[in-house]
Copies of this chain bind each other. A is one copy, B any other.
Amino acid sequence: MAVSGRSEGPDARARRKSLRLHGMVARDLGILIVSGRYKPGDLLDGEIEASDRLNVSRTAYREAVRILAAKGLVEVRPKIGTRISPREKWHLLDPDVLSWIFKYEPDEDLLESLFELRKIVEPAAAELAAKRRSADQVERMREALETMAEHTLASEIGRVADQDFHTALLEATANPFLVSLTSSVAAAVAWTTIFKQRRQPLQRDPIPDHRRVYEAIADADPSAARQAMADLVDMALLDTTMAPKGKPGKRSRAA
């Protein structure tokens, strides 16, 4: 099929992943929205015009819009059209929305807010895990920790082990909402960390921090687990923000 003369056709967009066409359109539009290129209240073009401009069928465009609507980014009504929703309606903790925010436009203030949330939730999760963990979960954490120590976080194996460690910890909380919340956030943070570390490889050794968390949970010591995890999150924050060395001060927070 001949790609018409308009900007870039579907082929040019197929470069990334194994997303289907509607998935690509949703991702592209989603990034435009969360990055502020389209602003809340803006009205998108009609389906025919919009799909035509993207060189996709109306079907594919509509499915993309459904995805965005399911994530709270847009609101679409008959006779009105597709309107960008106010930011309060966005599902900011949706994994895709998080990835669109942090994979392409790592806003510093937002990153700080995300770590503020981590600092609230993850120590509490570690505390619960210390109370409820089973012997099997402790064993899985121990194995993951060993693998992490052997290979480092520089290798794929090491990063998978790191994920296993945190997955086992979350499962130990026996709270599905904590699992869902924390794994979404952790994935988003992982991307920004990898992004930053391209310029400045990780200098600190993360193993001791993890080991202290592990030992507290293995010992069934909730308050120690809370403290150890709080330290771990603090260290992780440093890993993502210390890249621009000259700016140790905190940014002001807009109202």
Contacts and interface: CB of A to CB of B under 8 A. Distances in A.
Interface of A: 22, 59, 62-63, 66-67, 69-72, 87-88, 90-96, 110, 113-114, 116-117, 120-121, 124, 128, 132, 134, 174-181, 183-184, 253-255
Total copies of the chain: 2
Nearest to A170: B88
B72 A70 contact: no
Given A120-B121, A174-B253, A93 B180 contact: yes
Contact of A177 (B117, B128, B174): B117
A176 B69 CA distance: 19
Nearest to A59: B59
19 contacts: A63-B63, A66-B66, A66-B67, A67-B70, A70-B70, A70-B96, A72-B95, A93-B93, A93-B181, A94-B94, A110-B176, A113-B178, A116-B178, A117-B175, A117-B178, A117-B181, A120-B121, A121-B121, A134-B255
